[in-house]
Amino acid sequence: MPKLSVIIPCYFNEDNVPVTARELVANETNFPPDVTFEYVFVNDGSGDDTLGALRRVQGEYPGFIRIVDLASNVGSYNAIVAGMAYATGDCMAVITADLQDPPELIVQMYAHWRQGYKLVIGNRQDREEAGLAVAMAKLFHWLMKNLALSNIPDGGFDFVFFDRQVATEVLKLHERNSNVFYLMVWMGFAYVNIPYTRRKRQIGKSRWTLSKKVKLFIDSLMAFSFVPIRAISVLGLSLGAIALLYGLYVIALKISSANEPAGWTTLMVVLLFVSAFQMIALGVIGEYVWRGLDAARQRPLYVVRDVF
């Protein structure tokens, strides 16, 4: 009898929790009768009554729900890793607490898992939302596909179904400042991609702020790509070549002409341009150095306050 653990990270989802739990439990009827279920809700340091809502839902569905209450907010990806550590299923799925991803898709994912696939991805081919946020999301995933991981599906994903072996390998890595979903693809397991349309959020307000999106992009790019540091090297060599040619030009003018050019404006433009490049280069190198320091400290990704 295979056991499926569904991991749901929660952050300010007090109103979503009852609806999400109800839909997940109702979705059990679409599975074969031999499947058993476990729902691992991870409270990611929510400032509202998400924990209270989870405890009430746990009382409503006794024996099916495990609650992992984190001591502070560590981000959804670290919360998912915490859920993996406490899940006991033979296979696992990750779904958002706001139900923008359809729970009924987990049935198709499970069927592919039974066929032997270790990883099944729910790929966002379209969205019910519109606006700048959607355009930024599409740009983010395009950049990641073209600069970091060429084998990720178009459109991005954060709805996955995977084997316990995949979870075990992710937990072994102790990867910091990274993207747990991209880690699964990076491992090299063959995966199935199921396209779907992401729903518009119906309850509550998203806490996925612009600063968190920017951090995710920087973390993901630097965790899976050498493009930033390689770009610095290429640009540095190019600027060095230009500076050499300009130096030879100035020397030639000095030798061939009695009156050397004033060149103040040109000199200042070159100086400011090179200085700006140096600051950017130091910033990128600093990002890599900081990540190395953060990994060397070996601090835990999360601290669990309590488990219910």
Average pLDDT, the chain: 83
CB atoms within 10 A of CB 244: 10
Q: What pTM does this model have?
A: 0.77
Tokens of 249: 């030009």
Secondary structure letter of residue 158 according to DSSP: -
State the pLDDT at residue 298.
Answer: 77
Q: Residue 110's closest CA among 92, 94, 84?
A: 92
Instruction: Give the integer Cα–Cα distance in Å for 226 and 153.
Output: 20
Contact 202, 116 (CB under 8 A): no
The topology under which CATH files domain 3-207 is: Spore Coat Polysaccharide Biosynthesis Protein SpsA; Chain A (3.90.550)
164 pLDDT more than 80: yes
User: Exposed/middle/buried for 15, CB within 10 Å: 0-12, 13-18, 19+?
Assistant: middle
Instruction: Report pLDDT digits (tens) over 181-207.
Output: 888 988 988 899 998 887 776 665 666
Residue type, 116: G
State the pLDDT at residue 293.
Answer: 72
Tokens of 191: 């995966």
State the pLDDT at residue 263.
Answer: 67
For the stretch 240-244, contacts whose Cβ atoms lie closer than 8 Å and that sit 24 or more positions apart, written own/partner, are 243/270, 243/274
When comparing pLDDT for 223 and 307, which is higher? 307
User: Exposed/middle/buried for 208, CB within 10 Å: 0-12, 13-18, 19+?
Assistant: middle
